[in-house]
């Protein structure tokens, strides 16, 4: 199905992001799209099911992060159906990519995607966000962390900063509420030892929601009491 849209995918990615995707990258994105549509019937992975909408609102929206990622070790926290992690891996194949989610069925789907697309150095991790930040195997281990549609920013900061290395970047994909969420996050940023590096606004046209990337830099080690136990960050964000 997605092969019928390969030329549009190439044109849209170049127009919106400036990336001239190779034939191999286009083919992998097409295969990912076909697998997403097929498995969506069983797992309800996404409400967006039209190919052009998937290209714009999932693939290109994820690849926006490509220009902000630093280092070689990238974690996608709350990956869901593989966004932003899978398109980022296709765009930047040299990255080590870790796809983290609390729902095993989604990760089973992503293991199939990884295998079918032949993605090397790409792993799935079954864990809650509150738990992985206290795991010595992952705490302060990532150069960059991305997240999309998981929680409001004050909560996300408590989830993501513990697994970031010092001087690493957290890249949060947000919509129109980005500035409001930043205002809510002042206390969390201070407590968790991070600062706002930049806010980048962008638009993919009238058919897509206005978007923003909030780039957060971790400047100090995260206090050992964070993240708090499961459920607490969402119920009682740092303030």
Q: Which residues fall in the annotated binding site?
A: 78, 83, 129-130, 148
The string of DSSP letters for 41-60 reads HHH---S--SHHHHIIIIII
Output the known binding site for S-adenosyl-L-methionine.
Answer: 78, 83, 129-130, 148
Spell out the residues 6+ positions from residue 33 whose beta carbon is closer than 8 angstroms to its own: 1, 2, 5, 51, 54, 55, 59
Cα–Cα distance list, 161 to 36, 99, 139, 158 (Å) = 30, 16, 9, 6
CA 81, 59, 132, 116 dihedral sign is positive
Q: Rg of the chain's alpha carbons, rounded to an integer?
A: 17
Name residue, tokens 């998981």.
150
Q: Is 229 exposed, middle or buried (0-12, 13-18, 19+ CB in 10 A)?
A: exposed
Sheet holding 122-126, edge to edge: 122-126, 96-101, 73-77, 142-148, 164-174, 211-218, 194-202
Name residue, tokens 């993240």.
227
């Amino acid at each position: 199905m997605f092969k019928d849209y390969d030329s549009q995918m190439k044109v849209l990615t170049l127009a919106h992001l400036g990336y001239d995707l190779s034939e191999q990258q286009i083919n992998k994105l097409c295969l990912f799209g076909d697998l997403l549509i097929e498995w969506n019937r069983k797992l309800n992975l996404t409400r967006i099911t039209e190919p052009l909408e998937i290209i714009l609102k999932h693939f290109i929206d994820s690849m926006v992060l490509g220009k902000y990622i630093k280092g070689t070790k990238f974690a996608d926290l709350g990956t869901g159906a593989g966004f932003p992690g899978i398109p980022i891996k296709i765009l930047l194949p040299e990255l080590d990519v870790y796809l983290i989610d609390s729902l095993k069925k989604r990760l089973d789907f992503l293991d199939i995607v990884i295998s079918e697309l032949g993605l090397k150095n790409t792993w799935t991790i079954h864990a809650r966000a509150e738990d992985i930040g206290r795991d010595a195997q992952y705490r302060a281990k990532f150069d960059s962390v991305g997240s999309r549609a998981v929680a409001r920013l004050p909560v996300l900061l408590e989830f993501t900063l513990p697994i970031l290395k010092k001087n690493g970047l957290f890249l949060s994909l947000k919509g129109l509420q980005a500035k409001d969420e930043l205002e809510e996050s002042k206390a969390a940023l201070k407590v968790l030892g991070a600062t706002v590096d930049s806010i980048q606004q962008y638009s993919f046209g009238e058919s897509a929601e206005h978007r923003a990337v909030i780039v957060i830099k971790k400047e100090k080690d995260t206090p050992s009491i964070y993240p708090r136990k499961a459920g607490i960050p969402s119920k009682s964000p740092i303030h």
